[in-house]
Amino acid sequence: MSATLIPISGLQVASRKDMGAALAKGGGCSAGSCGSSQGPADMDPETWAKVKDHPCYSEEAHHYFARMHVAVAPACNIQCNYCNRKYDCANESRPGVVSERLTPEQAARKVLAVAASVPQLSVLGIAGPGDAAYDWRRTRATFELVAKDLPDIKLCLSSNGLALPDHVDEIVAMNIDHVTITINAIDPEIGQHIYPWIFHDGKRRSGIEAATILRDRQLQSLEMLHERGVLVKVNSVLIPGLNDDHLIEVNKAVKARGAFLHNIMPLISDPAHGTHFGLTGQRGPTGAELKKVQDACAGGANLMRHCRQCRADAVGLLGEDRGQDFTLDKLPEEIGDATEARSAYRDWVAEERRDRAAATAEAEAAVAETAKPALFAVCTRGSGRINLHFGKATEFQIYEADARGIRFVGHRRADNYCLGGHGDTARMDEILRVLGDVPYLLCSKIGDGPRKRLAEAGIEAIDGLAQDYIETAIAAVLHSKQTARPGLSAERA
């Protein structure tokens, strides 16, 4: 490990491992056949160059890079039954809290401020509330302003697809490499139950006609963008009883038209959100139902499994939200230039990636003899390391290890156990519920009380491997179990 000091955004750290720890203090935050976990060996260099810093298009990148959304495009040309526009866009955000709406100028200033203090920032997305392609004037103005000041930040947009074909030339000309289209159905018989109306060619349309036009424009957008070299991710909202079986057909159809990734997301439905589905009792899927549909799509378009259903004003690594740190009233008067810090951070990531890839290969070789698959819940703030205190975790990354290797298989959310000096019993009950089938938990630190509660529920908490790579730590635990080495919790394996 090099002893050279690495200067990043005011941090002076002595090693790559220290860097991970230092960045973790500043803020917050992989899959079998999941294409999003692919690395440079699995795709052509041009495609890898586009996805390697994008936290949504590469599972591996989401350990290192952050995205931010700006809510500049509030107008929409369709109605989805899972959306209430008083809230964030349900396509790309967690409904519930109204976003701060911004003008393009305000948004560009906010992006500059975030880029100056979050060296991990690599992507600016416009993802609701409203439709980025329909509210194109504001979307374009925002992207143009940001591209002028921050040419190293990738531009990314999300749309329902209805207006997209009209803007493909501009999207290509503006170097927007990543576009998400939400396609919930390709059969208009099903689509008509998801979209009560669309507004197209100056007229409001409904029923089969609306669902057919929308489907045709979505697939046309996908084909046009793919032909022009833009990477397209398709989002589908899984609505039990409506499109669960049908999403396999959607997966095949979007794969045939060149989709880079397919992200099947669970419907979030709550009467309090005031959506049609929420008010009529349409439920969202269970975790098992979501996994069943995702597994049924194996062999089709590559699946994304690390989506966090971000808010329309989210800021930070996936799984964290620092949006409240960057509201307009908190932006500084003077915003410095942090281009060098971002560049230094990317150099550090390149080195770290090489180191982690070697460590992962070693770890996977070590688990090659593992007889039974084992699940691990990991507390991490990013950098691919065990670097988060159990009490502060608001999500657990779930890894599976077996003779085939060590894989990220998803994440599970729960409110953080620690409330500034004391633990919350109800929160612990929820953590035990979400981790019911997971025998091992890896974290940087855990108190005796919660360790005991977890142990009583059959979950062994291990905090002796802090700052190790996740894969290295998992291999160490499995090795210690196979060789019955005691004391993992108290000392390094």
> Nearest distance from residue 81's CB to ligand SF4, in Å?
9
Residues in the chain: 493
The residues, any chain, with a CB within 8 Å of residue 279's CB and separated by 6 or more, are 271
Residue 263 binds which of ligand SF4, ligand CLF, none (CB < 5-8 A, kind-dependent): ligand CLF
| Window contacting ligand SF4 (CB under 6 A); options: 9-17, 88-96, 416-424, 439-447 | 88-96
Pair 291, 259: CB distance under 8 Å: no
> Nearest distance from residue 284's CB to ligand SF4, in Å?
15
Please identify, using beta-carbon distances, which residue of 78 and 123 lies nearer to ligand SF4.
78
> Nearest distance from residue 294's CB to ligand SF4, in Å?
21
Beginning with the edge strand found earlier in the chain, give each strand of the sheet holding 405-413 in spatial order. 405-413, 395-402, 374-378, 440-442, 460-462
Q: Using the rule CB under 6 A, is 66 a contact of ligand SF4?
A: no
Distance CA 380, CA 305 (A): 17
- Judged by DSSP in three states, 196 sits in coil
Q: Using the rule CB under 6 A, is 323 a contact of ligand SF4?
A: no
> Nearest distance from residue 88's CB to ligand SF4, in Å?
9
Q: Which of 13, 12, 23, 10 shows the shortest CA–CA distance to 382?
A: 23
List 385's β-bridge partners, or say none.
469
Q: Using the rule CB under 6 A, is 164 a contact of ligand SF4?
A: no
Q: Using the rule CB under 6 A, is 80 a contact of ligand SF4?
A: yes
Burial class of residue 486 (count of CB atoms within 10 Å of its CB; 0-12, 13-18, 19+): exposed
Number of DSSP helices (H) and strands (E) in the chain, helices first: 14, 17
Distance CA 450, CA 391 (A): 9
Residues that bind ligand CLF (CB under 6 A): 56, 67, 69, 92, 123, 125, 127, 156, 158, 178, 180, 233, 263, 307-310, 318
Residue 113 binds which of ligand SF4, ligand CLF, none (CB < 5-8 A, kind-dependent): none
Distance CA 114, CA 244 (A): 38
How many positions of this chain bind ligand SF4 (CB under 6 A)? 14
Q: Using the rule CB under 6 A, is 160 a contact of ligand SF4?
A: yes
> Nearest distance from residue 130's CB to ligand SF4, in Å?
5
Among 6, 51, 71, 90, binds ligand SF4 (CB under 6 A): 90
Q: What does the binding site for ligand SF4 look like in residue numbers (CB under 6 A)? A: 76, 78-80, 83, 85, 89-91, 128-131, 160
